[in-house]
Amino acid sequence: MVNVLMTALLCVIITCSCGDSKPPSAAAVRQRDSLSMMTSYGVSKLISDSGLIRYKVVAEEWRVYDRTNPPRHSFPKGLLLERFNQQFHIEMYITADTAYWYNQNLWELRGRVRVWNLDGTVFDSQVLYWDMGKHEFYSNVWSHLKTPDKEVEGTSFISDEQMRHYTINNSRAVFPIPSEADDQTDSIKTAEQNETPQPVTVVPPRTPQKATAPPSTGLPPGGHFK
């Protein structure tokens, strides 16, 4: 009886093992360009240019798409980008809520975009493009630029990477004007600085002289010759 049970159990095991042994698989992906090739989280990466480390990218999520046209890198949860000079000091940083990097050349920055450079210039907008090949920034939405000596805003913006030479359309600007008291103080200080001390000549006082009477004519006062 025991031998019969063992034989039946062995037949069941052999029957199950002779079934379909292929591992489970999903359906083929038809739209490959809609999926990222790589997704990284909590990224802090240094990027070199011409053999020198020039950029640092910090992002909560970084997706790489290699089948899109053009290929792009996506930062859906925000971006902090720092650019270094040859002394490895930060000369510019960029922040945005969302960013796209096309062909590792053109940046599209969206949502609370801010650019700061070493000169103290601060740029704010909702959309900004950075063409690394042409070395220029541009935007087609309302933008605000603040420098140490003025503030400018307008409906479109284009500038070089240093934001020293720029064009803003439909713009308005604010320039600081010194108060009247400051103007008077500055004028007094300028006059005092430009005034040259002159030598002082001391004139001694004159000695008073005694009055002399006119020669006598022998006539009474008011008299005359007949």
Q: Which residues of 216-225 are buried (b: 16+ CB within 10 A; e: fewer)?
A: eeeeeeeeee
Which residue segments constitute the domains of the chain, with CATH numbers given? 43-174 (2.60.450.10)
80, 93 contact by CB (below 8 A): yes
Mean pLDDT of 125-150: 94
Mean pLDDT of 139-154: 93
How many CB atoms sit inside 10 A of residue 151's CB? 14
Please report the pLDDT score of residue 13 as a whole number.
57
d(CA 30, CA 46): 34
pLDDT per residue as tens digits for the range 76-122: 999 999 999 888 899 999 999 999 999 999 999 999 999 999 989 99
Please report the pLDDT score of residue 191 as a whole number.
43
d(CA 47, CA 50): 10
User: Looking up tokens 């934001």, which residue turns up?
Assistant: 163
E strands, 71-205, in order = 72-75, 79-84, 90-96, 98-102, 106-117, 122-131, 136-139, 143-147, 150-154, 156-160, 166-169, 172-174
Please report the pLDDT score of residue 209 as a whole number.
52
64, 52 contact by CB (below 8 A): no
pLDDT per residue as tens digits for the range 164-174: 899 999 877 77
The model carries a pTM of 0.66
User: Which of 142, 178, 177, 137 is CA-nearest to residue 159?
Assistant: 137
pLDDT of 198 higher than 50: no
- For residue 107, the number of C-alpha atoms closer than 13 Å in the C-beta half-sphere is 25
Mean pLDDT of 24-49: 80
Please report the pLDDT score of residue 58 as a whole number.
97
- Among 13-17, 33-37, 51-55, top mean pLDDT goes to 51-55
Mean pLDDT of 13-21: 56
